[in-house]
Structure 1
Amino acid sequence: MILQLTPSTQNLVITWEKLPDDFVLPDEPVENIQQPFVAAALTDALGEASLITSEMLIASNFGLVAKVNQKTVVKAPDWLFVPKVFPVPQGTLRRSYTPILEGEPVAIVMAFLSETDTGEYSVRPTYPYGKLYFYEHILKVPVYGIFDPASSLLEVRRLEAGQYVLQQPNNEGQYSIPELNLSLGIWYGNRLGITTNWLRWWDQGGNLLLWSAEKAEQERQRAEQERQRAEIAEQELERLRRSNPS
């Protein structure tokens, strides 16, 4: 499938083709040790809230593919969401994703900044193309988020009339993400022994989506409270028996 873009985007010819099996994907080291933890936390909360279905694609540091002017371009955002993808043959592992060919367009991509790289803002319009340019003009991803845990910076860009427009947060500092019917914001606290700024989801009622560990702790505390109530009730019953012997 080929899409001819307007002259404003350099007359790019985009071909949606599956990545060849022998294509060597970039194996770049993680630029910031927090990046995998931030990505995992986003997915964990969605899973705990039962918002992930088998037809979705949610991944981190995963290759998104497009062939532009006969050259294969692969970008691997720190976190991505595709509402519906076609299933792969049983026993086959998905090693990359080509929109349109393998399912719906990518709905959300997120980048987590490192101290040494600002490529997330690159609008380079020539091969291999800057990340922002690639998501805006080639993949046309509706939502592009950029997060820097160190400075508690969160920027959300939404595609409007073919261009990214920086969004404004609500009074709680959160950004509406209709693609998931949720809001996205920053939360400072501890996860897995790391105390820092985290990206968190909130539902439409303003309730924080809990991580699985938080939900487990919540259940543990509830069970402990029930145990204590049962123990107090048993003690009270025993006291009544002693004060009113038959």
Structure 2
Amino acid sequence: MTFVTTATDSVLSLPDHTQLPDSDGTFVKNLQEHPQSILLTDSIKPILEQLHPDGQYCIGQDSGIYWRLTDPPQKGAEAPDWFYVPNVPPTLNGKIRRSYVLWKEYVAPLIVIEFVSGDGSEERDRTPPSLREDGTVGKFWVYEQAIRVPYYAIYEVEKALLEVYRLLDNTYQLMRPNERGHYLIAPLAVELGIWQGRYQNAELPWLRWWNAQGNLLLTGEERAEVERQRAEVERHKRETIVEKLRSLSPEQLDALGIDPKMLD
């Protein structure tokens, strides 16, 4: 597939997400990547629903971001493990997004997250296109200089190491963690950090969100469990009160204005 553009080409003639490949044919590099992405998406969903009551936002998980036209098309795309784009529709013309095409959207992701499977050199590669004969570029350079993503996170699972960069003065600056060891993503009023615990039947260091007060953002399953435990505590309290009232004499219950029949 070859794309040829000129100065007179209309943006409307450029390929969209339905015309561009949605996969490069490679496998997910480790079994933690998929549940890790789900964990990030599931737990931050209530925050995004508050920020976007109209539902205008997009989350990508191992999905392509097309930032330039190339032949083959995949050379002009990066596929972050997780990213979030504010103020764009989750679908286009009633179709699920196959990829995110910048020349059709114009809105860059607010945050991109990469899960390192190798030595981390690919995720930190700052090589510009001018330094390689084949025109390939470093992933770090693409996010910083081409797509211009405000926040870029690199998570090394094997080392339980997290780096977060913020775009300042057109350059990524390595952020310092706060006193909780987390990184504030200010536009979302959330923090990103590492949590050691069990998720999807695996005890591992997981990348997770916290609110600005340092409270862990729970998944839907975790929220349901908290509600179940709360209901169990309330039920136990009621049963304890009823048992104490049943130990009282009719006269004592009458003095409290309680009908003994209510305790049956």
The TM-score with structure 1 as length reference comes to 0.84
1:245 Cα deviation from its structure 2 partner: 9.3
Aligned position for 1:40: 38
CA distance in 1, matches of 2:163, 2:115: 11
Q: 1:196 to 1:132 in 2, by over 3 A?
A: same
Whether 2:121 is the aligned partner of 1:113: answer: no
SS at 1:240 equivalent: coil
> Which protein has the larger Cα radius of gyration, Structure 1 or Structure 2?
2
Does the Cα contact within 8 Å between 1:45 and 1:211 map onto a contact in 2? yes
Identity across matched positions, percent: 33
Q: 1:22 to 1:236 in 2, by over 3 A?
A: same
CA distance in 2, matches of 1:21, 1:200: 32
Worse-superposed segment, 153-162 or 205-214? 205-214
Worse-superposed segment, 225-234 or 40-49? 40-49
Does the Cα contact within 8 Å between 1:121 and 1:131 map onto a contact in 2? yes
Q: 1:20 to 1:175 in 2, by over 3 A?
A: closer
1:102 Cα deviation from its structure 2 partner: 2.1
Structure with the higher helix share, 1 or 2: 2
| Contiguous gaps of at least 5 residues in structure 2 | 6-10, 130-134, 255-264
1:40 Cα deviation from its structure 2 partner: 1.0
1:213 Cα deviation from its structure 2 partner: 1.9
The TM-score with structure 2 as length reference comes to 0.79
**RMSD, matched Cα:** 2.6
CA distance in 2, matches of 1:68, 1:21: 15
Aligned position for 2:218: 210
Worse-superposed segment, 94-103 or 115-124? 115-124
Per-residue CA deviations over 1:106-165 (Å, capped at 9, x if unaligned) read 111000011466311222323332211111111111111000122110000111222211
Does the Cα contact within 8 Å between 1:81 and 1:108 map onto a contact in 2? yes
Whether 2:227 is the aligned partner of 1:219: answer: yes
Q: 1:113 to 1:234 in 2, by over 3 A?
A: same
Q: 1:138 to 1:125 in 2, by over 3 A?
A: same
Give the alignment partner of residue 180 of structure 2, picking from 149, 172, 182.
172
CA distance in 1, matches of 2:185, 2:107: 17
Does the Cα contact within 8 Å between 2:112 and 2:153 map onto a contact in 1? yes
Aligned position for 2:27: 29
Worse-superposed segment, 120-129 or 207-216? 120-129
Give the alignment partner of residue 88 of structure 1, picking from 89, 92, 98.
92
Does the Cα contact within 8 Å between 2:63 and 2:80 map onto a contact in 1? yes
Worse-superposed segment, 17-26 or 148-157? 17-26
CA distance in 2, matches of 1:201, 1:35: 16
1:179 Cα deviation from its structure 2 partner: 2.5
Does the Cα contact within 8 Å between 1:62 and 1:76 map onto a contact in 2? yes
Equivalent residues, number: 232
CA distance in 2, matches of 1:34, 1:99: 28
Does the Cα contact within 8 Å between 1:64 and 1:97 map onto a contact in 2? yes
Runs of 4+ in 1 over 6 A off after TM superposition: 242-246
Does the Cα contact within 8 Å between 2:17 and 2:100 map onto a contact in 1? no
